[in-house]
Amino acid sequence: MIARINNFEVDLSKPIDISIPLTNSDENPIAWYIDKPEINPVFVDDWVGSVEKGASTNFNNIKFNPHGHGTHTECLGHITRDFYSINQCLKKFFFLAELVSIQPELMGEDLVISEGQIVNALDGKSPEAIIIRTLPNTTDKLSRKYSNTNPPYLSEDASVFIRESGIKHLLIDLPSVDKEHDEGKLLAHKAFWNVKDVTNLNSDARLEATITEMIFIAHEISDGSYLLNLQIASFENDASPSKPILYDILKIEI
């Protein structure tokens, strides 16, 4: 089905899902020192919420952490003292996005995405969203256990450049844009959202901007421009599990 969304013509019958599904198996990716998600039927006296066990419906409780268990989208409420909800901050859901592949550079003992790499990858483009695929791009990202592995991260300068380029939505296939053990500095988060004081939010902080982490972009998806549909659940929380969908752009009408 061909549709026109904003100024873009896309085929809605060919979505490209770059989210990682949440499961209660050992294959679920995990970050931040927590256990795997739990999905279990409700027990009420002798009744079990499982058709397999004789109930008329499946009726599960789900216990998970959006930041540590898979693809999620977060707002600046992730790092501020005052409460901000992703459900209130993200009000538009379709964006022109640029997918770029970058091999992080070795800096000391860390692998880091630098400002220069972002500059080169964007090559003068100013999309609404940037999607960063790190190299090497292996399928074990779908089940990786990130805790205490010091994954690659985004430099503060790179994050500043992304912000100053006018990009409002940052998507990456890592558990965080910041270093795993950084003494709570969160330099890339703060730079992207332009948060100068987490206890007293500055007026030019970027309330509408989002960061999406723990995506997976399959190797056969080419770098380039796409229409991004950034889907979230309606959680009144700093972050929500999310489902970013890409569409090939067939035509751009100015």
Q: Which domains does the chain have, with CATH numbers?
A: 2-22+68-252 (3.50.30.50)
Query: At what angle are helices 115-122 and 156-164 packed, to 10 degrees?
Result: 40
Burial of 156: CB neighbours in 10 Å, binned 0-12, 13-18, 19+: buried
* pTM confidence score: 0.96
Q: What is the mean pLDDT of each run of 10 residues along the chain (254 residues)?
A: 84 96 96 97 96 97 97 98 98 97 97 98 97 98 98 98 98 98 97 97 97 98 97 98 96 70
- Cis peptide bond N-terminal to 241, omega within 30: no
- Helix runs in the chain, H state only: 86-89, 115-122, 156-164, 187-193
Query: What does the block give as tokens for 206?
Result: 């970027």
User: What is the C-alpha separation between 78 and 213, in angstroms, rounded?
Assistant: 13
Give residue 3's pLDDT: 80
User: What is the C-alpha separation between 203 and 22, in angstroms, rounded?
Assistant: 36
- DSSP strand pairing (105-107 vs 60-63): unpaired
Give residue 254's pLDDT: 62
